[in-house]
């Protein structure tokens, strides 16, 4: 299906994004692509000045740019205040989200008679649903999903292949869990008894709010007591691990390979970059950020950005990184100064010896 540029502009106006067409408003567009890959029937965007040069070589039929962005002569563009937000809206408008094939309830699924299944659920072959499970409307369960007893799933959830929910897990509405993610397994709860470790029963659960999405192979421990909580709107990339009893606030963003130990309190709209690690029993304030590969060993106040290992305020971390880059040069300078000091010492000793003689 094609979309005229002027109609895309009208659509953006309806969602609160004022915009202006420069060039061919009747241009027909069928998709969205990068500046490098776009063809004449696709629309692209420029949000990062780093890629400005690509405007001169792109074959895109139209490009969404900022209101003050200079563009080459003859390039059809759509000017708006926030190109990134605009292209996101256009992508949803043109491509929509992944569509799930309607399969109904497969005869090869194993569903306990006590389970309550909502309207229009799509349950693929190889799914197992245990006793006293409640599943909302329009839920999609792909092959290999296992849902243990007493779980509750809200409406419009999507569980991709081989997702596992241990007993008692609670999902809100519109939760998406990608392939291989496990929710509600036992946390690392062991008591030292002599030189051995005695397992502590993990009798809590996990509660996941509305509009949460997790990438593939994430792992969310159940609480020892009470609940591990992932609040509304939070998004995880792949390979994120959350320890038992941790509570994560609304609209957080955790990038791949983040690890958070147990009993951590994370505020709202917190961003943890790739491979960041957080020690147990810490507090991270609202709107805080932790840099890639950082190791956090103390609390982060609200609104602060930390980086490094151990993690420190980002301004201090950047100065430290700068010094690390200069270490080889500083080492050479120290060696030269040591040689000069040694030469001066020997010269002074020689003078002292001359005076004595």
pLDDT at 112: 97
Can you tell me the distance from the alpha carbon of 234 to that of 269, in angstroms, rounded to the nearest whole number? Answer: 8
Q: Rounded to two decimals, what is the model's pTM? A: 0.85
Give the Cβ contact number of residue 344 at 10 Å: 10
pLDDT at 1: 73
Is the Cβ–Cβ distance between 148 and 135 less than 8 Å?
no
Can you tell me the distance from the alpha carbon of 182 to that of 165, in angstroms, rounded to the nearest whole number? Answer: 6
pLDDT digits (tens, 9 = 90+) for 84-131: 999 999 999 999 888 898 899 999 999 999 999 999 999 999 999 999
3, 125, 244, 331: the catalytic one is 244
Count Cβ atoms within 10 A of the Cβ of residue 251 and give its class: 0-12 exposed, 13-18 middle, 19 or more buried: middle
For the 3-95 domain, the top CATH level (class) is alpha beta
pLDDT at 38: 96
244 is catalytic: yes
Q: What are the mean pLDDT values of the chain's consecutive 10-residue runs (357 residues total)? A: 91 95 95 96 94 94 96 95 96 89 93 97 97 97 98 98 98 98 96 95 97 98 97 98 98 98 98 98 98 97 96 91 85 91 87 78
Closest CA to 269 of 251, 256, 282: 251
Can you tell me the distance from the alpha carbon of 220 to that of 212, in angstroms, rounded to the nearest whole number? Answer: 13
DSSP conformational letter for 352 = H
Q: Could you tell me the residue ranges of all domains in the chain?
A: 3-95, 110-316, 326-357
pLDDT digits (tens, 9 = 90+) for 230-252: 999 999 999 999 999 999 999 99
Kindly provide the residue ranges of all beta strands, DSSP E only, lying in 200-351, ordered along the sequence.
205-208, 213-214, 219-221, 227-230, 235-236, 241-242, 247-248, 253-254, 259-260, 265-266, 271-272, 277-278, 283-284, 289-290, 295-296, 305-307, 312-313
Q: Which CATH superfamily is domain 110-316 in?
A: Hexapeptide repeat proteins (2.160.10.10)
- What is the CA 70 to chain-centroid distance, rounded? 32
pLDDT at 356: 75
């Amino acid at each position: 299906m094609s979309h005229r540029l002027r109609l895309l502009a009208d659509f953006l106006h309806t969602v609160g994004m004022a915009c202006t067409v420069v060039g061919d408003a009747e241009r027909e567009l069928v998709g969205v692509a990068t500046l490098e890959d776009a063809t004449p029937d696709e629309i692209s965007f420029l949000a990062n000045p780093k890629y400005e040069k690509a405007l001169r070589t792109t074959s895109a039929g139209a490009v969404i740019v900022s209101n003050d962005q200079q563009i080459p002569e003859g390039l059809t563009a759509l000017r708006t205040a926030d190109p990134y937000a605009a292209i996101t809206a256009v992508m949803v408008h043109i491509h929509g989200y992944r569509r799930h094939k309607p399969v109904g309830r497969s005869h090869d699924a194993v569903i306990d008679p006590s389970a309550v299944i909502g309207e229009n659920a799509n349950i693929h072959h190889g799914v197992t649903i245990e006793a006293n499970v409640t599943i909302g409307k329009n839920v999609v369960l792909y092959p290999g999903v296992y849902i243990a007893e007493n779980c509750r799933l809200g409406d419009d959830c999507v569980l991709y292949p081989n997702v596992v929910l241990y007993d008692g897990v609670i999902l809100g509405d519109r939760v998406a869990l990608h392939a291989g993610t496990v929710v509600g397994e036992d946390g690392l709860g062991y008591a030292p008894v002599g030189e051995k470790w005695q397992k502590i029963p993990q009798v809590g659960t996990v509660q996941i709010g509305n509009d949460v999405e997790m990438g593939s192979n994430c792992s969310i421990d159940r609480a020892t007591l009470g609940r591990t909580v992932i609040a509304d709107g939070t998004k995880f990339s792949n390979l994120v691990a959350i320890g038992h009893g941790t509570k994560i606030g609304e609209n957080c963003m955790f990038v791949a390979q983040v690890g958070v130990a147990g009993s951590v309190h994370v505020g709202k709209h917190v961003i943890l970059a790739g491979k960041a690690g957080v020690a147990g029993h810490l507090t991270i304030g609202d709107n805080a950020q932790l840099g890639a590969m950082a190791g956090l060993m103390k609390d982060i106040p609200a609104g602060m950005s930390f980086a490094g290992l151990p993690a420190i305020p980002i301004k201090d971390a950047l100065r430290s990184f700068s010094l690390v880059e200069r270490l080889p040069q500083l080492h050479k300078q120290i060696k030269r100064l040591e040689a000069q000091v040694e030469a001066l010492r020997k010269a002074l000793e020689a003078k002292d010896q001359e005076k004595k003689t």
